[in-house]
A = this chain, B = another copy of it.
């Protein structure tokens, strides 16, 4: 298969990393790369060389000081700035010098550079942004969280396979349970796109399928731990994600405020601090490496801009796993087997990448 992922130059996979755009500066991303290299990762680092510190074993530095991480129109910036670090990193992936990409500069730049330089995987309609959410009883991967504000049935069907592949290959879930986000669990609930998607998923996913389709799930199921992947359009996914973040923060603050108002409760708040801390650790987003841009010919991982070196290291290690375990090829095979690929020949809509 021409667009299957795999180790560049036949060896261990190489991860291209765009260092521009991190809140703590490019040096923090470089520090994350050094941590990942200590665990055997091979990294190609793009960013302002003088801010990246000395290279270390496994890390190659490419001086690419031009940043478009703050561009208001990433699609235009990607075309206008061929020397931008994200564009050079994406080209390295397209040219086979690297097998996956980690972008500290945000999803807009990653998506634009990916579509323009690496292109969609054959038969995939639209890339989707998948975010593994650490919840008290496990991890739930929500997609799409913002790449597509509108999605048709055939898009959501593909998202289900893409999310299941991520859960299996990169997150280590043996038999992913996939749900469709709706306004009720009954099959008859949903807007028209959800109703159509439900019908098609129920039909295409057999008993021994690539994942198990659990049907409709509600907003609260994002937290129940009873499902591994939740599929929705990028508008609803973004709203759900922001409500979750906002509620979590508001509840923690409200409990802290309530504790501060009484001496007895105040002492309780002090004593509870370690419990709050271990809860924070359990839901720490850095443990999951960030968001995953799926549906391109290579895996892109987009850590949150506020991550520290540990989060960037995790993103690099996850990207490496996605490449070495052939996430793209396995997604494609599952989509093909289910008959859920785009029917037009790939050459009509996407340029081909050289086989690795």
Contact = CB atoms under 8 A, between A and B. Distances in A.
Interface of A: 135-136, 146, 149-150, 181-184, 189-192, 194, 218-224, 232-236, 238-255, 257-259, 261-262, 264-265, 267-276, 278-279, 282-283
22 contacts: A150-B192, A182-B235, A183-B234, A191-B233, A218-B238, A219-B238, A219-B244, A222-B243, A222-B246, A222-B247, A239-B240, A243-B247, A248-B251, A254-B279, A254-B282, A255-B255, A255-B276, A258-B279, A264-B274, A265-B274, A268-B272, A269-B275
Contacts of A235: 182-183, 190-191, 194, 236
Contact of A183 (B149, B262, B279): B149
A271 B268 contact: yes
A192 B233 CA distance: 13
Nearest to A271: B268
A259 B275 CA distance: 5
Contacts of A240: 219, 239-240, 243
Contacts of A268: 267-273, 275
A254 B280 CA distance: 10
Nearest to A221: B246
A9 B342 CA distance: 65
Given A255-B255, A258-B275, A220 B242 contact: yes
A221 B232 CA distance: 21
B246 A220 contact: yes
Name which of A181, A222, A254, A269 has the most chain B CB atoms within 10 A of its CB.
A254
A208 B253 CA distance: 35
Given A218-B239, A247-B251, 18 more contacts: A181-B239, A183-B239, A184-B238, A194-B235, A218-B238, A219-B240, A219-B244, A219-B245, A220-B246, A220-B249, A223-B250, A244-B247, A247-B247, A254-B282, A255-B272, A259-B272, A259-B275, A265-B274
Contacts of A224: 246
A253 to B, nearest CB: 7
Contact of A219 (B246, B265, B272): B246
Nearest to A283: B254
A258 B277 CA distance: 9
A259 to B, nearest CB: 4
A272 B265 contact: yes
Contacts of A283: 254
B191 A149 contact: yes
Given A242-B218, A247-B243, A262 B274 contact: yes
A135 B273 CA distance: 23
A271 B261 contact: no
A228 B133 CA distance: 29
A150 B236 CA distance: 13
Contacts of A243: 219-220, 222-223, 240, 243-244, 247
Name which of A135, A184, A265, A268 has the most chain B CB atoms within 10 A of its CB.
A268
